């Protein structure tokens, strides 16, 4: 495997607050919409919830020790809004901020660059009760929350992400109901779309006012969309879905253009925009983070905008039944650079779920090693071709709460035993560590990774 990465390329790993921390009531915190959602019957597989998760809230020092041993350059984590503004409003809860303050200091002590995500889906339940993202004041709420976090951390955290995957929490949370808050309410989703667009730009503005030296960006999930056939109807259905999934947020934010897709997707619920609101939504950012997992295959089913046929993935697939298509990572990076550049790019998430077995304290997750190797090879190619890719974050550091799938799906490069909270670095973790070390040593080729890591 050739390694064409510049010296300052950031190799990292990512997590999110709700998926790992546990302890939703610690030090004055209050529940988020995911705590509430987990209590709903059949919402989450096996009735799992985030009350303990990886107990990272208590075991964070151990987890940072793992990060150090893996030789990571960077760590992407998210802040739990309900720890900072438990009721959504009022003065910030300093004790909630302390947790992330300590975490940041320890990362810096270990020479690991923090990348902080403000919103990875855990909205304070109190704000949902008022209407959540459909409430016209939600951009103000988000700006206030941003100010609270940035006032504490912008002096030390250099990389900031406002939203993680806005399309996912909008579509799965408010259109299909698979994620919190579990609505199937297109009118609510349409209003939320507008307010999230405005909230991001308000947050960016707030971040800029707190520090001139930080870099601000986004993390969006982007997928290649592949038509099931060359039939014109399949191609048309595919481009509808591509627009809805990949561009619903990014076009207004980064191109100041409102795709027809919004009108088509939301129909009569499409929110009204004044000219000044539209230009307010468009905001310059410093980097675009791309979360890449798999492509989507689409066929025509009906002319109704959101009704398309989702075709089964082509093997090989992961445990999520997501198709493995490493070239797709190159394709989305190239697409993002051409459409939204010039702009720094990061792969803010990439990874796969597999059932791992532990034997003698070793996890031989060869398939995950292959997944990472093949995707990192595409990153190396992108860098060679002049795409300004600045970093890559493996999803995820730890096996964790995989949303509606609970703890059954394991994405970690570190195994977590959820009954003992014991952590074991998987072989994919050692593979990643050795790759990072090879790059740091200036090697242009990865020494064969098959041994001694795996056997």
Active-site residues, by number, are 165, 349
Q: Is position 403 annotated in a ligand binding site? A: yes
Report the SS3 class of residue 116: strand
Task: Mark the segment that binds ligand GBH (CB under 6 A) among 252-260, 289-297, 327-335, 355-363.
Answer: 289-297
List, in order, residues 6 or more apart from 401 with CB less than 8 Å away.
Answer: 18, 19, 20, 48, 49, 50, 53, 54, 407
**Known binder of ligand: residue 193?**
no
Shortest Å distance, C-beta 291 to ligand GBH: 6
Q: Which of 118, 168, 192, 243 binds ligand GBH (CB under 6 A)?
A: 168
Count of residues making up the chain: 455
Contacts with ligand GBH, 187-226, as mask; x by CB under 6 A? ----------------------------------x-----
H-state helical runs in 112-217: 125-129, 138-153, 166-170, 186-210
Stretch that binds ligand GBH, among 54-62, 106-114, 288-296, 383-391 (CB under 6 A): 288-296
Q: Does 175 bind ligand GBH (CB under 6 A)?
A: no
| 135 touches 181 (CB < 8 A) | no
Is 89 annotated as ligand-binding?
A: no
164 is in an annotated binding site: yes
Of 166 and 429, nearer to ligand GBH (C-beta) is 166
Residues 6+ apart with CB under 8 A from 185: 174, 175
Please state whether beta strands 296-300 and 308-311 pair in parallel, antiparallel, or not at all (unpaired): antiparallel
Among 144, 162, 206, 291, binds ligand GBH (CB under 6 A): 291
User: Least distance in Å: CB of 137 to ligand GBH?
Assistant: 26
Residue nearer to ligand GBH on the CB measure, 92 or 351: 351
The one segment of 162-170, 262-270, 361-369, 419-427 that binds ligand GBH by CB under 6 A = 162-170
Pairing of strands 159-164, 287-291: unpaired
* Bridging pattern class, strands 215-221 and 159-164: parallel
- Of 30-38, 291-299, 329-337, 354-362, which segment contacts ligand GBH by CB under 6 A? 291-299
Among 122, 125, 165, 399, binds ligand GBH (CB under 6 A): 165
Residue 99, interface with ligand GBH (CB under 6 A)? Answer: no
Residues 364-423 that bind ligand GBH (CB under 6 A): 395, 402, 411
DSSP 179: S
CB of 306 to ligand GBH, least distance (A): 11
Which stretch of DSSP H or E encloses residue 420?
none
Give the Cα separation of 356 and 72 in Å (integer): 23
| 3, 5, 11, 16: which one binds ligand GBH (CB under 6 A) | 16
C-beta of residue 394 within 8 angstroms of C-beta of residue 375: no
Number of residues binding to ligand GBH, judged by CB under 6 A: 14
**Smallest distance, ligand GBH to C-beta of residue 119, A:** 11
First vs last C-alpha separation in the chain:
20
Residue 164 interacts with ligand GBH (CB under 6 A): yes or no: yes
Q: Are 51 and 24 in contact (CB under 8 A)?
A: yes
Query: Under rule CB under 6 A, which residues in 346-365 are in contact with ligand GBH?
Result: 349
Q: How far is CA 321 from the centre of its chain?
A: 19
Question: Rounded to the nearest whole angstrom, what is the least distance from the CB of residue 402 to ligand GBH in the complex?
Answer: 5
- Please choose, from the candidates 54, 48, 45, 16, the residue with its C-alpha nearest in 3D space to the C-alpha of residue 35: 48
Residue 50 burial class via C-beta count within 10 angstroms: exposed 0-12, middle 13-18, buried 19 and up? buried
Q: Is 19 annotated as a binding residue?
A: yes
Exposed e or buried b for every residue in 357-375, given b needs 16+ CB within 10 A? eeeeebbbbebbbbbbbeb
Residue closer to ligand GBH by CB (options 139, 289) is 289
Q: How far is the CB of 31 from ligand GBH (least distance, A)?
A: 19
Would the CA dihedral through 155, 158, 164, 165 be positive or negative? positive
Is 402 annotated for ligand binding? yes
Among 293, 354, 407, 430, binds ligand GBH (CB under 6 A): 293
Which tokens hold the place of 90?
């009022």
Q: Give me the residue label for tokens 């074991």.
A: 424
Q: Tell whether residue 137 is among the known ligand binding residues.
A: no
- Pair of tokens at residue 144: 């206030």
Residues in contact with ligand GBH by CB under 6 A are 16, 19, 164-165, 168, 221, 245, 291, 293, 296, 349, 395, 402, 411
Known binding site for substrate: residues? 19, 120, 164, 293, 395, 402-403
């Amino acid at each position: 495997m050739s390694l064409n990465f510049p010296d300052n390329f950031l190799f990292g790993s990512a997590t999110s607050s709700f998926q790992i921390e546990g302890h939703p009531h610690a030090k004055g915190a209050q529940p988020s919409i995911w705590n509430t959602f987990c209590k709903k019957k059949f919402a989450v597989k096996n009735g799992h919830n985030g009350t303990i998760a990886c107990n990272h809230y208590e075991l964070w020092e151990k987890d940072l020790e793992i990060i150090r041993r893996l030789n990571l350059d960077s760590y992407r984590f998210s802040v739990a809004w309900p720890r900072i503004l438990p009721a959504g409003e009022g003065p910030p809860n300093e004790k909630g901020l302390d947790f992330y303050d300590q975490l940041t200091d320890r990362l810096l002590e270990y020479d690991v660059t923090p990348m902080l995500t403000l919103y990875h889906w855990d909205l304070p339940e109190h704000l949902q009760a008022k209407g959540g993202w459909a409430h016209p004041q939600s951009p103000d709420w988000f700006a206030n929350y941003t100010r609270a976090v940035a006032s504490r951390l912008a002096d030390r955290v250099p990389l900031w992400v406002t939203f993680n995957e806005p399309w996912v929490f909008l579509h799965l949370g408010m259109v299909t109901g698979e994620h919190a808050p579990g609505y199937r309410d297109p009118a609510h989703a349409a209003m939320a779309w507008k307010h999230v667009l405005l909230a991001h730009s308000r947050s960016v503005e707030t971040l800029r006012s707190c520090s001139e030296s930080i870099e601000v960006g986004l993390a969006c999930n982007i997928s290649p969309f592949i038509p099931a056939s060359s039939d014109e109807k399949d191609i048309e259905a595919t481009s509808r879905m591509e627009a809805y999934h990949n561009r619903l947020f990014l076009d207004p934010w980064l191109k100041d253009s409102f795709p027809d897709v919004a009108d088509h997707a939301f129909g009569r619920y499409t929110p009204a925009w004044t000219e000044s609101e539209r230009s307010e939504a468009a905001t310059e950012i410093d980097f675009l983070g791309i979360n890449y997992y798999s492509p989507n295959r689409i066929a025509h089913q009906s002319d109704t905008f959101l009704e398309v046929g989702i075709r089964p993935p082509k093997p090989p697939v992961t445990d999520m039944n997501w198709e493995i298509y490493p070239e797709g990572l190159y394709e989305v990076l190239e697409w993002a650079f051409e459409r939204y550049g010039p702009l720094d790019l990061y792969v803010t998430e990439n990874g796969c779920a597999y059932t791992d077995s532990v034997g003698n304290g070793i996890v031989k997750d060869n398939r995950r090693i292959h997944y990472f190797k093949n995707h990192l090879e595409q990153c190396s190619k992108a860098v060679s071709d002049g795409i300004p890719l600045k970093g890559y974050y493996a999803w995820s550091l730890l096996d964790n709460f995989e949303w509606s799938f609970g703890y059954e799906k394991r994405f970690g490069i570190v195994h977590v035993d959820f009954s003992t909270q014991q952590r074991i670095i998987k072989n994919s973790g050692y593979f990643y560590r050795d790759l990072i070390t090879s790059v740091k040593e200036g090697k242009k080729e990865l020494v064969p990774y098959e041994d001694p890591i795996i056997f």
